[in-house]
Amino acid sequence: MSSKCTANVYKFRFDSQTCDLNFVVLGILANDINLIADSNPVDISFFTPNPDWSLEFYKGETLLRNGYSNFKMTFTIKRALLYYNIVVACPTISFSLLNPLVFLLPIDSGDRIGLSTTILLSYAIFLTMVQMAVPASSNPMSLLLVMMIVTITFSGISVAVTIYISSLYHRDPQSRINNVFKFSGSEIPWRQRLLAIQPGSNDIETVHVKSATEINISWKDVCDGLDKYMMFISYFIVLLVNVAYFIASSV
């Protein structure tokens, strides 16, 4: 005899499933046949352990439902984590951590767009390889699948932003730089200019410090600032998504 039960894969990888088996003698009321459970109604002597699931809980009880005597067995099984952690979760987290590193590469190296595109294509190939390991269900959808979709979407956005920053880097040096780009190239902490003062004179001189708008900002400065911004924002988003996933899966 074989049986199936509906699975809730919302917390896939950390999920446990509870299945109920109901036995009833149809056509014969409880007045004629009454099923009675003894002290040990479920015998697992012939139970064979499964490498993907572990048996956490089981019980048996008799119920009276619609005039029929009903024997109900309840099993709770929990999914083994090791396989899915190694094959699915770890590569997904690794890809999400690799994406922001694209913004650390110098634009002159010419490898930025190639690296970001390679990460995107590698993750797309990875998804086709593990699609059989991730349950395909829309109601409810697995949180891990949502995380994988967010990761590949973010990877695609990183490719687009990398291309845009590279186009800014190769703009005409004489073209006008708007205030937003000037801010990213001058006002951020890592672009602040330090004024060096040489001691050795007792004369008091008035030193004029140029404001951010007076500093000569090039497109290279703008791109450097945007790279730093994007790297910090990217890692913040990656950290937020991963923490949210683990919290939602463990609740």
The pLDDT score that the predictor gives to residue 194 is: 45
Farthest CA pair distance, the chain: 115
Spatial separation of the C-alpha atoms in residues 29 and 122, rounded to whole Å: 62
- Per-residue model confidence as pLDDT tens digits over 105-132: 888 777 888 888 898 899 888 888 877 7
Q: Which residues lie closer than 8 Å to 232 by C-beta, 6 or more apart?
A: none
Spatial separation of the C-alpha atoms in residues 183 and 178, rounded to whole Å: 9
Question: Running DSSP on this structure, what letter comes out for residue 52?
Answer: S
The mean-pLDDT minimum among 64-68, 142-146, 209-213 falls in 209-213
Domain boundaries, the chain: 16-79, 82-194+207-250
Query: What predicted TM-score, i.e. pTM, was given to this entire model?
Result: 0.71
Whether the ω angle into residue 140 lies within 30 degrees of 0, i.e. cis, is yes
pLDDT at 236 over 90: yes
- Assess contact for 142 and 9: CB atoms under 8 A: yes
